[in-house]
């Protein structure tokens, strides 16, 4: 299911800055995907952005930097609010070595996951999918607040002796929120920073400049 991401799908740019161990660590998205909320089109939903841990200032505790597109369509013939959602997530990871043209230090990956979401409460859709041996992921789309979240819970296999002996599945990932990490997010608020800035704004929001 995982494959290399072709350049025509999204654009990723590297922002070089001396505060990072290597140039791959401080990567940002181009302004094409200037959104973080949920858009509704007829019987479908679309959301784009970057999953981040809200209000976490320590970049080392954030998930691998990513760019996500979620496309949902209502389930045919369903009397209730049921959506089939496909989440396409590109993510990049850097190792601890310095940039080296002869030895790549950045890994780019693409993951495609399908969720079936049901209405858990008025305006809130939720559904799960397997995320490997350790965790199941829960995609939550709040149509009221226009926000998207990703929660994680441990699988039954995570509690087995084999997993404990290998020292894996020790902690559960924290809740991630879909945010806008494009340069437009900071420009709208006239924020001039060299490190990464993300918020919940979208292209239609008014600028404070």
- Could you report the per-residue pLDDT of 67-104, keeping only the tens digit for each? 999 999 987 776 567 999 999 999 988 777 776 677 77
pTM as predicted: 0.81
Predicted pLDDT of residue 209:
54
All residue ranges of the chain with pLDDT < 70 are 1-26, 78-80, 99-100, 161-163, 165, 194, 206-209
In a domain, 107, yes or no: yes
In a domain, 25, yes or no: yes
Q: How far is CA 18 from CA 27, 156, 184, in A?
A: 13, 43, 23
In a domain, 64, yes or no: yes
**Residues ≥6 apart with Cβ < 8 Å to 8:** none
Which H or E run contains 165? Answer: helix 161-166
In a domain, 3, yes or no: no
**Residues ≥6 apart with Cβ < 8 Å to 154:** 134, 135, 136, 169, 172
Tokens of 203: 């292209």
Residue-range definition of the domain harbouring residue 115: 12-119+175-188
Distance between CA 37 and CA 35 in Å, rounded? 6
Predicted pLDDT of residue 19:
35
Total structural domains within the chain? 1
SS3 call for 157: helix
Do residues 185 and 37 lie in contact, with contact meaning Cβ atoms separated by under 8 Å?
Answer: no
């Amino acid at each position: 299911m995982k494959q290399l991401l072709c350049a025509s799908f999204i654009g990723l740019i590297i922002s070089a800055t001396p505060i990072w161990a290597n140039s791959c660590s401080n990567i940002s998205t181009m302004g094409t995907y200037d959104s973080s909320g949920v858009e509704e089109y007829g019987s479908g939903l679309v959301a784009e952005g970057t999953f981040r841990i809200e209000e976490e200032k320590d970049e080392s505790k954030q998930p691998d930097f990513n760019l996500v597109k979620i496309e949902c369509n209502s389930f045919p013939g369903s009397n209730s609010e049921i959506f089939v959602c496909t989440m396409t997530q590109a993510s990049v990871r850097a190792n601890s070595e310095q940039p080296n043209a002869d030895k790549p230090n950045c890994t780019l990956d693409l993951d495609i996951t399908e969720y079936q979401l049901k209405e858990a409460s008025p305006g809130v859709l939720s559904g799960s999918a397997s995320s490997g041996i350790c965790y199941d992921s829960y995609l939550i789309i709040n149509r009221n607040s226009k926000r998207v979240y990703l929660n994680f819970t441990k699988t039954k296999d995570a509690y087995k002796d084999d997993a404990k002996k290998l020292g894996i599945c020790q902690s559960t990932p924290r809740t991630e929120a879909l945010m806008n990490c494009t340069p437009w997010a900071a420009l709208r608020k006239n924020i001039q920073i060299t490190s990464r800035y993300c918020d919940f704004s979208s292209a239609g929001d008014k600028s404070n400049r």
